[in-house]
Amino acid sequence: FNWLVIIGCFVVLASSLHWALKIVALAILGGRQLGLGILLHECSHQAFFSTVRLNRFVGHWFAGMPMLIPFDFYRPYHLKHHAKTGTDEDPDLGNIAQYPVTKSSFLRKILRDAFGLSGSKMLYGVLFFVLPGRQGSTVSLGTNEQEGAYNQSGLKNYTQVLLCHGAMIAVFYGVGQPLLYVYWWVAFIFFYPFIVRLRQIAEHGAMPAFASDDVRDTTRTTIARWWERALFAPNYVNYHCEHHFLPTVPSYHLPKMHALLKARGFYQDKPEALIERGYPEIVRIASSAS
């Protein structure tokens, strides 16, 4: 489904339709880039498919490599986030520690995203820190502290990225639209960063605690409307409290799990762990500091 939506976006971008529709297609493409990230996330938990081999293969080649994230980098990085959620050892802590911020601060962040500053830093980080295995800031992937763990795989990572993206270019060239490849990076640099930012805030930002034995203190579920699912909550990633509660439940079962937990009063004493008014409410919470 993710790749069918991506193909649909490229069909719109290749057409002579109105420029406003192309902007919408780029925004949806950025949302589906997050969708690939969520598919990589699901496969890293070995939860999406029934075998380890299939999770690794699909997660790496059809989700990780298009986004320049090797499976073998992401899995230990993300599992550390689950094991050390909200502590100083959580590699994702830097993405949410500052929230809530003031409205003016939040606006500046959005403008950095919109003008490509965040996306350019993100691209630089994955190209020159994640892929070669160097220590340093990778923006949305926090700080890579895996010095020596992956640097021997740098040549392999770059080779596989070239294979994956070379195949994308070959497909675009084969259909007579080689410049469509540029749109992939336009979406990545100018649309994807804000989508990722809002996702990160929705999951763990401005919660009662950074670290807690109770996931309801650190992790939030946001009920998303259809258009929010298209942009900010692909593959049921918005059911994040449920995910942290039982990480091996596949994403496609999280809505059922949410209904079951809610019926049993899971959120009754922790209303801050459930936002039912969608992502505009997340923006309000994120920018609520005085």
Q: Which amino acid is at 246?
A: L
How far, CA to CA in Å, does 17 sit from each of 12, 20, 26, 28, 257? 7, 8, 13, 16, 41
| Domain housing 221 | 2-286
Averaged pLDDT for residues 180-208: 97
Using the 8-state DSSP alphabet, how is residue 143 labeled?
E
pLDDT band at 11 (very low <50, low <70, confident <90, very high): very high
Mean pLDDT of 254-264: 98
Q: Which residues contact 148 (CB under 8 A, 6 or more apart)?
A: 133
> DSSP assignment of 255-272, as one string?
HHHHHHHHHTTTTTT-GG
Q: Domain total for the chain?
A: 1
pLDDT in tens, 136-186: 666 677 655 655 555 668 899 999 999 999 999 999 999 999 999 999 999
Q: What is the mean pLDDT of residues 39-62?
A: 97
